[in-house]
């Protein structure tokens, strides 16, 4: 049952992280991944079918979020470099 409690806790944390604003969400997802997926696979979670469905939906939704966040951050960095270059001239 300990494994089941661990799995439920992981799902609850992922649901909470999904509700955060973008920068907090991105760093929260990285921490969640390091905590729950470095030693285990997502298929090792012991959840009901409904909870697994929620976990998978959130997991893939947040993968897409991270891709978009990465691109937005890259664009922001390019803009900052341009602004810094302009201000230094």
pLDDT at site 1 = 44
Q: Are 14 and 32 in contact (CB under 8 A)?
A: yes
pLDDT at site 42 = 82
pLDDT at site 2 = 67
Q: Are 69 and 76 in contact (CB under 8 A)?
A: no
pLDDT at site 3 = 63
Q: Are 54 and 42 in contact (CB under 8 A)?
A: no
pLDDT means over runs of 10, the chain (89 residues): 79 95 92 91 88 93 93 94 88
pLDDT at site 48 = 92
pLDDT at site 23 = 87
């Amino acid at each position: 049952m300990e494994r089941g409690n661990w799995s439920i806790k992981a799902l609850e944390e992922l649901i909470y992280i999904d509700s955060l604003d973008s920068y907090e969400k991105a760093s929260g997802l990285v921490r969640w991944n390091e905590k729950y997926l470095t030693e285990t696979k997502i298929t090792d979670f012991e959840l009901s079918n409904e909870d697994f469905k929620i976990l998978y939906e959130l997991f893939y939704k947040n993968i897409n979020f991270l891709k978009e966040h990465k691109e937005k951050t890259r664009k922001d960095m390019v803009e900052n470099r341009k602004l810094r270059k302009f201000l230094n001239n």
